[in-house]
Amino acid sequence: MRQPLFNKGISGWGQLGLLLGLLGAGMVAGSLIAAGVWALMTGQPIMQMQQDLLNPRYAGAVKLVQTISTLFVFLVPAAGYAFITYRNGWQALGFGRGWQWKLAGISLLIIAASGPLIDSLTSINKGFPLPAASRAFFDNMEKAYEDQVKVIAEVKSVQQFLLSLLLIAGLPAVFEELFFRGALQGMLQRWKGAAPVYVVLTALLLAGVYHIWFSAALNPLLFYALLVVLSGAIMASKPVMRALQLLATHPFTAIIFTSIIFSAIHGSWYGFLPRFALGMLLGGIFHVTRNLWYSILVHFVNNAAVVCYMFYLHLSGKPVAVTSEAVFPVWAGIISLTAIAVLFRWLSRSTEEDVPREIFYDPTNPFDERNTVA
């Protein structure tokens, strides 16, 4: 049986405020430090940084700036939240269990079996009917994203290939899994029946989506007025809140919600459904195994596949593309989903059910015997 999680007395709302506050501070600190590093490495004006990020001449600086940004946006808030809230912070983030090769193998089979499903969802996502202006806007966003990834993932030599594996596959897998699965999903799953938090987080998510994708389509005053009125109406409705309360008690509600945020934060409209599905797989693996290392492994392999594909294109003398055209039909995605369900059942049967208890204690009380528990 695993050691309990020793909470230092911070409530659910306190944990949410702490995580969001650290996220905001990390974004500001990361941006400032990244801008300073960029200016030192390139000698270019910071105001011109957005355009220069797409210049292959500054590929080395872009890679370092990207690493600094992801470190401060994901790793620092997750680790800070865990160790401020819990005495055993690493265990709270999902590092309390040992490695089992069988579970690692099943996890890899899950991501391998998901290929046709991800491919089908990509086709469905791109097939959504959109106004011409919106489609042109999303096409431009997608092109800018791919151009930046090409700069970061420049793979014209073995050395560049290995560096890209680290910067695109390795570090994002660790940093993002720590934040999304270890911190956010773990917090929501331990916070049983907290329906109001989902209303608040949904409002924040919609505000973010509005600014990323739809700010030009709707007046901001009108949008925020509608958002406040709708959120207030939901909070005031007892039947709706009772239904949300029931949903909030289920662990998969946290997985679904975290996956939506995980996908939306990447800012890619055409990749929303595929990344949501990836988030569901990663969240499901973490939930079943209670070990963040398996989610990190799967995330790394998924990212590494893109880097390897780009390296293959270079070796073949073909134009480098971040994404490829969909090759699987929708019915193949259904078969893929069935295979994933079977593999998750196998993973669950191969994992010992051991959910750590959360114990609240007073760290300032020298007579609290839980302060001396190893």
Question: What is the model's pLDDT at position 274?
Answer: 92
pLDDT digits (tens, 9 = 90+) for 25-55: 999 999 999 888 888 888 888 888 877 777 7
pLDDT digits (tens, 9 = 90+) for 53-109: 777 777 778 888 888 999 999 999 999 999 999 998 999 999 977 889 999 999 999
Question: What is the model's pLDDT at position 374?
Answer: 43
Task: Specify if 162 maps to a domain.
Answer: yes
The tally of CA atoms less than 13 A away on the side-chain side of residue 343 is: 22
Domain count, the chain: 1
Task: Specify if 21 maps to a domain.
Answer: yes
Question: What is the model's pLDDT at position 369?
Answer: 56
Those residues of the chain that have pLDDT short of 50 are 374
- Whether the CA torsion 322, 325, 330, 334 is positive or negative: it is negative
| Separation CA 367–CA 356 (nearest Å) | 24
Residue 190, both tokens: 């331990």
Q: What's the burial of 106, exposed, middle or buried (CB within 10 Å: 0-12/13-18/19+)?
A: buried
Task: Specify if 24 maps to a domain.
Answer: yes
| Separation CA 206–CA 184 (nearest Å) | 17
| Separation CA 152–CA 52 (nearest Å) | 13
- Whether the CA torsion 189, 191, 196, 199 is positive or negative: it is negative
- Residue 163: CB atoms within 10 A of its CB come to 19
Task: Specify if 234 maps to a domain.
Answer: no
Question: What is the model's pLDDT at position 363?
Answer: 67
Task: Specify if 242 maps to a domain.
Answer: no
Domain ranges, residue 56: 5-192+249-372
What pTM did the predictor assign? Answer: 0.88
In this structure, what are the phi and psi dihedrals at residue 151, rounded to the nearest 5 degrees? -65, -45
Question: What is the model's pLDDT at position 51?
Answer: 78
Question: What is the model's pLDDT at position 159?
Answer: 84
Task: Specify if 225 maps to a domain.
Answer: no
Residue 50, helix vs strand vs coil? helix
Question: What is the model's pLDDT at position 38?
Answer: 87
Question: What is the model's pLDDT at position 196?
Answer: 84
Task: Specify if 34 maps to a domain.
Answer: yes
Task: Specify if 202 maps to a domain.
Answer: no
